[in-house]
Amino acid sequence: MRAVTAEEMAEMDRTAIETVGIPGVVLMENAGRGATEVMWRYFPDLKRKRVAVLAGGGNNGGDGFVIARHLWQQRVEVAVYLLKKGKSYRGDAKVNLEIIEKLGLQVKEYPDNKSLAGLKRKLAKADLLVDAVFGTGLNAPVRGFYQKIIELVNQLGRPVLAVDLPSGLSASSGVPLGACIQATVTATFGLPKVGQLVTPGCTYVGHLEVVDIGLPRSVTEAAEPPRLWLEARDLAPLFPARSLASHKGSFGHVLVVGGSVGKTGAAAMAGLGAARAGAGLVTLAVPTSLHGLMEVKLTEVMTEPLAETADQTVGTAALPRLHALLKGKQALALGPGLAVDGETTKVVLELVRNCPCPVVVDADGINALVGRLDVLKRARAPVILTPHPGEMGRLVKRKAEEVQNERLSLVQSFSEQYGVTLVLKGARTVIGGSEGRLAINSSGNAGLASGGTGDVLTGLIVGLLAQGLSPFDAACAGVYCHGKAADRLANRCGDRGMLATDLLPEIPIIMKSLAEQQ
């Protein structure tokens, strides 16, 4: 599903109304009815609740009026509280306000600071609040009266349905504009907004539901926003049925280069991740002194000893053997547990520059690129980088906090500048393609905040690369399957104590479910 900014969504609405000829009041009706259906799904006992609709002065308030009318029609106790004088409403919002007034719904004005105490008393009696204060058009910090309204809603601690967007949240950046309502569920209209999907915005929306308001497909697809909200239906075509005549050579041979003293597990998990992704063959190359450990530890993954330094890291003397090993391989994973060493860094730079097949660079492979990013522009084959925010910060000489605040723009600019596919890990992982495409992952949970999960992800991506997926598709599919595996585990066991190796047996199940959706 596409993800849009506030400006892109507004343009789609204008096109639907002015060019296609769908009246705005029809779109508002569809939005309000759809949001009401979302309410029933999340709050099936609505008839036993008192609902309060907080209506701002724009079309978001108009959506709230439609919701109130549908609830009233369904015999739900509902009251509407206007945060502006009723006579100030215009257009479609005015039409729907007049309708609910004629029907006799409870509508009262609380338009200023003087009326806050009375509003607080009313809201305290409600069981469920509908936030129809600000929509996607908000672009300045919330101050004064409306800031107090938002703070009041959050202090009451009632369940909140946000209409299109939690009031106070930037639809485009996900940054709260001053105060922001903490929603229980958000019914957003047309398409998801970028600010709802990335951190910190996603922490305010609660459960996100996208409501179809009747925008024509020709409108929503014509704008071609280069962003994707990754869902199963987007990825299912990447998992076609396998032929009965297949053999292990049909699905690619992966080479994983990694491992150092104390970090053999990272290399092993990357190898197992590639195998679980469906690669036909996987070879793990590690320093010679660690090779015996890997032979004992791994059964399905083949192993290869490499010339090493005095510190038992991969040395430059291993390069001839590595170039030989890369012949006939379909993908390379470089970096899990590799360690940072002068010679090892030279190995990384040589392989990134001259690898004949696509390469996934992770962990210490990424650290070896710090201050040497120009090597990416000279790479012989496609490169995928999978940094966490700290590693990304080192690459671009920024603090991790700054990286987190600019995730989308930073991923897009970096991937285009250096011609790579970039996977910026973390909550709502962002994937950027070298041609400017962006994807935001919808799967995953806090259980992934555990050592080794990134190594499994590296293995998944490189295993999918070996099977012929493009770098961008392999990155998107790997990230999504990784997160869904964690979601399956969390549903059974919770998100505490999840181990990276727990993810591995879940991966084939996730891929099977995707393949069955075609």
462-496 residue pLDDT tens: 999 999 999 999 999 999 999 999 999 999 999 99
Q: Tell me: the pLDDT tens digits for 240-278?
A: 999 999 999 999 999 999 999 999 999 999 999 999 999
- The answer to whether 442 and 231 have CB atoms below 8 angstroms apart is yes
pLDDT exceeds cutoff 80 at 226: no
The rounded Cα 47 to chain-centroid distance in angstroms is 35
Beta-carbon contacts of 99 under 8 Å, excluding residues fewer than 6 positions away, are: 65, 69
Beta-carbon contacts of 268 under 8 Å, excluding residues fewer than 6 positions away, are: 259, 284, 294, 297, 298, 301
Confidence of residue 221 (pLDDT cuts 50, 70, 90): confident
- The answer to whether 285 and 306 have CB atoms below 8 angstroms apart is yes
Percentage of residues in the chain with pLDDT exceeding 70? 99
pLDDT exceeds cutoff 90 at 396: yes
| Rg of the chain over all Cα atoms, to the nearest angstrom | 26
Q: Name the amino acid, one letter, at 384.
A: I
Phi, psi (deg, nearest 5) at residue 304: -145, 125
- The answer to whether 65 and 95 have CB atoms below 8 angstroms apart is no
Confidence of residue 405 (pLDDT cuts 50, 70, 90): confident
Percentage of residues in the chain with pLDDT exceeding 90? 96
Classify each residue of 371-380 as buried b or exposed e, where b means 16 or more C-beta atoms within 10 Å of its C-beta: eeeebbeebe
Beta-carbon contacts of 104 under 8 Å, excluding residues fewer than 6 positions away, are: none
3-state helix, strand, coil in the chain (%, to 5): 50, 15, 35
Reported as type and span, the H/E element at residue 256 is strand 253-257
Taking the complete model, does pTM exceed 0.85, yes or no? yes
Task: Check residue 223 and give its pLDDT.
Answer: 61
pLDDT exceeds cutoff 80 at 67: yes
Domains belonging to the chain, first-starting first, are 6-225 (3.40.50.10260), 249-515 (3.40.1190.20)
Q: What single DSSP character describes residue 19?
A: I
- Residue 440: C-alpha distances to residues 40, 299, 330, 454, 481 (Å): 28, 35, 26, 17, 13
Confidence of residue 225 (pLDDT cuts 50, 70, 90): low
pLDDT exceeds cutoff 80 at 285: yes
The DSSP-derived string for 396-457 is HT--HHHHHHTHHHHHHHHHHHHT-EEEE-STT-EEE-TTS-EEEE----GGG-STTHHHHH
Q: Tell me: the pLDDT tens digits for 114-151?
A: 999 999 999 999 999 999 999 999 989 999 999 999 99
pLDDT exceeds cutoff 70 at 81: yes
Average pLDDT (331-358) is 96
Task: Name the least confident of 126-130, 318-322, 463-467, 514-518.
Answer: 514-518
Q: Tell me: the pLDDT tens digits for 349-365?
A: 999 999 999 999 999 99
Report the alpha-carbon distance of residue 511 to residue 457 in Å, rounded: 14
pLDDT exceeds cutoff 70 at 224: no
Mean pLDDT, the chain, integer: 96
Phi, psi (deg, nearest 5) at residue 42: -90, -25
Confidence of residue 518 (pLDDT cuts 50, 70, 90): confident
